[in-house]
């Protein structure tokens, strides 16, 4: 394979779309697999909608996902001289021409075609007019002079051979009447100038490809290889829509990449998930970044749309949480605790809290919720727990444990467990649960938690006894 150069080219008109970042991931992995170059190009020719904040969040999102680009960001808005030079070349060679047809005239022709149930293409009204005519102050666009010839198909590295409908190829607009170049023109000029070898993008661009191939040929430029990825769809199989964002968030997904960070997903888990959403390597689900860069290939990209599955994403994120370093997780958890009104730092205590919880949580906000009782004493107790565990003998178990804590080494969880078992032998015929569960409920307010002995060690002697005293005042009154 010749030197690989690929690009990701988002428009800075809003947040980075989850489908867009999947395109970035595929380009990134392809470049890394073949020792190539990954270019970030910002397509900001839409002067009204493009903004700096959108550029910043695109770059921030890519850095969060560890998708390091080798060149860029390169801004189309800074390349007007290059575009003008290529427009002049096309005009000088008669491969483009000025068109003075107004928007109203074109709209009338379009509506006529629709009424006659035929495909609308520009009819070439200005195609053969004298190019040297004086247009004065008349506004004009610049159109590509369609050579009327095109191949029957083009090769796609994912979708295979794609037929070209020549009836849809007309004299399309290269430059708008306000002087701004169009997408199909800029993308060809940029990709050629940047030496892009493979154009890997969504299959919503398939219809643009025949036009672009014609323009490459008209400019005597090498045509890159094309690979059109299936799009990313929502859980119900429909196209992801910004209008349904609230519905998606309730399910645990979003249209915006940045929201996944806010929802507590780990970046490498999201990259793993989006890569597997359309690409496969046998039945393997979990990949290190090294494995992805060594194994990824376009040959194993499917042709069907990738359907977002919130449950699978959460499951995958849970696997990454389990394997994460406690110190790293503690650092990530701090802002999610702050949202719950809990101010803390990523100290050793928080790392001890994180260690058992990472085996149970699927996201960071879920972990934060699970950890609340380490910071705030329960104000109420689980009703079903009270009914099942706070019976007549519970008060004695709680009282005895409360008193024994004075003499126990709380950092020795083995010794703690041994003391509980001795108490269970004495009070409950050796049934540890009848001692442990009332204590668990007293300390946490719930009956499902990590090891009770871990909880006592983290809470410490004074806080544990304080909570047990409160429980003693409550048992029998609930």
On whether the CB atoms of residues 321 and 266 are closer than 8 A, the answer is yes
Q: Which residues of 177-190 are buried (b: 16+ CB within 10 A; e: fewer)?
A: beeebbbbbbbbbb
477 given a catalytic annotation: no
* CA pair distance 77, 50, nearest whole angstrom: 10
On whether the CB atoms of residues 200 and 27 are closer than 8 A, the answer is yes
* CA pair distance 235, 216, nearest whole angstrom: 38
Backbone angles phi, psi at 202, to 5 degrees: -70, 150
Q: What is the dihedral of CA 209, 212, 213, 219, to 10 degrees?
A: -170
How many CB atoms within 10 Å of residue 380? 9
Structure tokens at 53: 């904040």
- What is the maximum span of the chain, computed from C-alpha positions, in angstroms? 107
* Strands 198-202 vs 225-229: parallel, antiparallel or unpaired: parallel
* CA pair distance 422, 401, nearest whole angstrom: 11
On whether the CB atoms of residues 278 and 226 are closer than 8 A, the answer is no
3-state secondary structure of 153: strand
Among 242, 384, 388, 422, the one annotated catalytic: 242
On whether the CB atoms of residues 436 and 452 are closer than 8 A, the answer is yes
Contacting residues for 30 by C-beta, under 8 A, at least 6 apart: 4, 6, 36, 198, 200, 296, 297, 298
Structure tokens at 27: 């380009």
* CA pair distance 262, 258, nearest whole angstrom: 7
Structure tokens at 341: 């009104």
What length does the chain have? 478
Contacting residues for 81 by C-beta, under 8 A, at least 6 apart: none
Peptide bond into 73 cis (omega under 30): yes
On whether the CB atoms of residues 242 and 13 are closer than 8 A, the answer is no
Backbone angles phi, psi at 119, to 5 degrees: -70, 130
On whether the CB atoms of residues 49 and 13 are closer than 8 A, the answer is yes
On whether the CB atoms of residues 143 and 99 are closer than 8 A, the answer is yes
* Strands 306-307 vs 232-233: parallel, antiparallel or unpaired: parallel
Q: Which residue numbers are catalytic?
A: 242
């Amino acid at each position: 394979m010749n030197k690989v150069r690929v690009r990701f080219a988002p428009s800075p008109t809003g947040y980075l779309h989850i489908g867009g970042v999947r395109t970035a991931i595929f380009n990134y992995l392809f470049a890394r697999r073949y020792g190539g170059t990954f270019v970030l190009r910002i397509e900001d020719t839409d002067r009204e909608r493009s903004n700096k904040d959108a550029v910043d969040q695109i770059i921030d999102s890519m850095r969060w996902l560890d998708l390091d680009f080798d060149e860029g960001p390169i801004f189309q808005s800074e390349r007007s001289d290059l575009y003008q030079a290529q427009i002049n070349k096309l005009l000088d060679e008669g491969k483009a021409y000025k068109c003075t047809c107004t928007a109203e005239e074109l709209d009338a022709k379009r509506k006529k075609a629709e009424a006659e149930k035929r495909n609308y293409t520009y009819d070439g009204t200005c195609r053969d007019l004298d190019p040297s005519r004086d247009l004065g102050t008349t506004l004009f666009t610049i159109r590509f002079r369609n050579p009327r010839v095109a191949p029957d198909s083009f090769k796609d590295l994912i979708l295979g051979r794609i037929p070209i409908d020549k009836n849809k190829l007309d004299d399309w607009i290269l430059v708008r009447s306000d002087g701004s170049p169009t997408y199909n023109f800029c993308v060809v000029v940029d990709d050629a100038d940047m030496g892009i070898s493979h154009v890997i993008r969504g299959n919503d661009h398939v219809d643009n490809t025949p036009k672009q191939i014609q323009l490459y040929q008209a400019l005597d430029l090498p045509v890159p290889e094309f690979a059109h990825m299936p799009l990313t769809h929502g859980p119900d199989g429909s196209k992801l829509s910004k209008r349904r964002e609230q519905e998606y968030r309730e399910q645990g997904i979003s249209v915006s990449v940045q929201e996944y960070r806010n929802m507590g997903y780990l970046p490498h888990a999201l990259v793993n998930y989006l890569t597997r959403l359309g690409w496969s390597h046998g039945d393997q689900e979990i990949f290190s970044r090294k494995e992805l860069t060594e194994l990824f290939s376009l040959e194993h990209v499917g042709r069907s749309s990738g359907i977002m599955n919130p449950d699978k994403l959460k499951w995958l994120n849970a696997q990454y949480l389990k394997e994460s370093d406690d110190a790293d997780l503690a650092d990530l958890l701090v802002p999610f605790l702050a949202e719950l009104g809990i101010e803390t730092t990523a100290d050793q205590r928080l790392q001890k809290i994180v260690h058992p919880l990472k085996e149970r949580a699927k996201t960071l906000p879920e972990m934060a919720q699970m950890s609340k009782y380490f910071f705030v004493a329960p104000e109420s107790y689980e009703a079903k727990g009270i009914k099942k565990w706070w019976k007549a003998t519970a008060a004695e178990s709680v009282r005895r444990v409360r008193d024994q804590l004075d003499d126990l080494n709380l950092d020795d969880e083995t010794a703690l467990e041994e003391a509980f078992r001795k108490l269970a032998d004495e009070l409950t015929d050796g049934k540890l649960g009848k001692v442990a569960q009332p204590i668990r409920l007293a300390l946490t307010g719930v009956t499902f938690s990590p090891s009770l002995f871990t909880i006592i060690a983290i809470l410490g002697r004074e806080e544990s006894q304080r909570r047990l005293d409160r429980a003693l005042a409550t048992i029998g009154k609930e």
